[in-house]
Amino acid sequence: MTGAVSAEVLVARRLFRFFRASGEETLAVAGVSLTVRAGERVAVAGPSGSGKSTLLSLLAGLDEPDGGTVRVAGHPVSHRPEEERARIRATSIGMLYQYGNLLDHLTVAQNLRFAHGLAGHRTRFDLAERLEAVGAGGLADVLPAALSGGQAARAGLAVALVNDPPLLIADEPTAELDADAEQQILDLLAAQAAAGTAIVLASHSPRVLAVCDRVIRLRDGQIVADGQVPG
């Protein structure tokens, strides 16, 4: 990155999310504000139940906050009709999940084409190039069930990036992977950040946290630390 300050890609302000279940009320996200710039990799860490997944869902426009706002690439994501949120998700937000984001009944190639179609084919798309970029050349016609964990993670990353979103959100993207496969994903994420993508990921992995630019620590739905990764 150059000395110039990069654009704000994700701006979240005073996010709150309550859940009510069997008479109990849980404040899963309690006043979180967060700004992530182009090219930044931000990890969200914290103990189980601290609100990481809930926060990521709010940032991705998959869930609606009870209070606060989310903007992605200048678009309001929160408090918008579902069709509008879906359009912003498809064009501006790539999502990567722990268990892969591949549809089981589609081959890798069909998964990519499907995800590309969701955004209305707005970006150029070369299947072979997309697969090569994540080290998944040769996997075009393979169904997800036949992929190794590392292959599924890389193919899932290709799907998440197929519309060249300015923001990538990943929930425990390497939790099921061995050290080599995890490193491959981290290298791909580093290249993607260098190309300007803003990345927010939840992780428990020390190796993942170590390569991020910032680590945000949550406890009981609140940010208790937000800082540069030492060394």
Ligand X SMILES: Nc1ncnc2c1ncn2[C@@H]1O[C@H](COP(=O)(O)OP(=O)(O)OP(=O)(O)O)[C@@H](O)[C@H]1O
Which residues of the chain form contacts with ligand X (CB under 6 A)?
19, 21, 26, 28, 46, 48-54
| Spatial distance between the Cα atoms of 231 and 100, rounded to a whole number of angstroms | 31
Give whichever of 52 and 85 is closer to ligand X, judged by the CB atom.
Answer: 52
Q: How far is the CB of 168 from ligand X (least distance, A)?
A: 18
Give whichever of 73 and 182 is closer to ligand X, judged by the CB atom.
Answer: 182
Q: How far is the CB of 95 from ligand X (least distance, A)?
A: 15
Give whichever of 5 and 21 is closer to ligand X, judged by the CB atom.
Answer: 21
Q: Kindly report the CA angle at 171 between 138 and 3, in degrees rounded to 5?
A: 90
Q: How far is the CB of 87 from ligand X (least distance, A)?
A: 25
Q: How far is the CB of 97 from ligand X (least distance, A)?
A: 12
Q: How far is the CB of 194 from ligand X (least distance, A)?
A: 28
Paired tokens of 98 = 């722990």
Give whichever of 47 and 137 is closer to ligand X, judged by the CB atom.
Answer: 47
Q: How far is the CB of 206 from ligand X (least distance, A)?
A: 15
Q: 3-class secondary structure for the chain?
A: CCCCCCCEEEEEEEEEEEEEECCEEEEEEEEEEEEEECCCEEEEECCCCCCHHHHHHHHCCCCCCCEEEEEECCEECCCCCHHHHHHHHHHHEEEEECCCCCCCCCCHHHHHHHHHHHCCCCCCCCHHHHHHHCCCCCCCCCCHHHCCHHHHHHHHHHHHCCCCCCEEEEECCCCCCCHHHHHHHHHHHHHHHHCCCEEEEECCCHHHHHHCCEEEEEECCEEEEEEECCC
Angstrom CA distances, 68 to 38, 53, 121, 197, stand at 22, 17, 32, 24
Give whichever of 52 and 89 is closer to ligand X, judged by the CB atom.
Answer: 52
Give whichever of 19 and 99 is closer to ligand X, judged by the CB atom.
Answer: 19
Give whichever of 4 and 21 is closer to ligand X, judged by the CB atom.
Answer: 21
